[in-house]
Amino acid sequence: MNNGWMDALSAMGSGQSLSLNHVISAMLLAFVLCSVIAKLYQLTFQSLSYSRAYVHTLILGGMIVCMVMMSMGDSLARGIGVLGALSIIRFRTVVRDPRDMMFLFASLGIGIACGSGMFAVAVAGCMILSAVIVLLHYAPFATRRRYEAMLRFLMEADNEDVRLEVDAVMKECCSSYMLLAMREAVQGDLLEYSYQVRLIDPSYQVDIVKKLEAVGSIAEVNLVMQRTTVEL
């Protein structure tokens, strides 16, 4: 019984050895293609927490997966051994951005294709993914840059002329605006107005402040941009 199991495992573990040229070619191809993905990640990065180590991981991860795939070959026994070895390592690094996770999957997928000897799949997949990455970076698809802001200023109470001038400035610089709060300030001599505004263009950030400051009886104009997600 035991001899039967040993013979079966030996048969499964007898994979065809790869030539040195094939190994070097696969590793170099994985390096080049993963470097393309890593460079595109660096050029299209739009968040605030850039990590040089993550870019290195994209290249090294693809090459390591390529090497592991060539080591396993078609052997089930080797695959079980690699799975057991990797289960010892605990990967606790958290990938916060789903986009970063997809870049990592792309790098690992290229490594798997190179290690399996499917060079055409690796090259074609890298080219198509690169084109899609560039397209999504420059296309306005899924963007929500509305330039919303909180506007506060002090104004004399019961001054209808100044209120009309403020409304004119709002209509000129904002696509929409809404009065959120109004309270007394400076012992009731002035009123503090708080507006939620949506600017027509980001360049109007300076214009709306200057135009409100130019209106008489207005002081302490303060504009704070608000974005739920930062898009640079």
The whole-number pLDDT of residue 159 equals 75
The whole-number pLDDT of residue 14 equals 44
Q: Which of 65, 76, 66 is nearest to 14 (CA)?
A: 76
Q: Where in the chain are all domains bearing CATH 3.30.70.60? A: 148-226
- Give mean pLDDT in consecutive 10-residue pieces for the chain, a chain of 232 residues: 47 62 95 97 86 93 92 78 68 80 93 93 96 89 70 82 86 87 77 87 83 84 70 50
Contact 29, 114 (CB under 8 A): yes
Structure tokens at 174: 């904002």
The whole-number pLDDT of residue 9 equals 40
Cβ–Cβ contacts within 10 Å for residue 220, how many? 13
User: Rounded to an integer, what distance in angstroms lies between the CA atom of residue 134 and that of residue 18?
Assistant: 36
The whole-number pLDDT of residue 190 equals 82
Alpha-carbon distances of 58 from 70, 119, 161, rounded to whole Å: 19, 18, 61
Q: Report the CATH superfamily, name and number, of domain 148-226.
A: Ribosomal protein S6/Translation elongation factor EF1B (3.30.70.60)
The whole-number pLDDT of residue 13 equals 45
pTM summary value: 0.62
Q: Which of 99, 8, 11, 116 is nearest to 62 (CA)?
A: 116
């060079």: which residue's tokens?
119
The whole-number pLDDT of residue 229 equals 47
Classify each residue of 3-31 as buried b or exposed e, where b means 16 or more C-beta atoms within 10 Å of its C-beta: eeeeeeeeeeeeeeeeeeeebeebbebbb
Structure tokens at 75: 């052997």
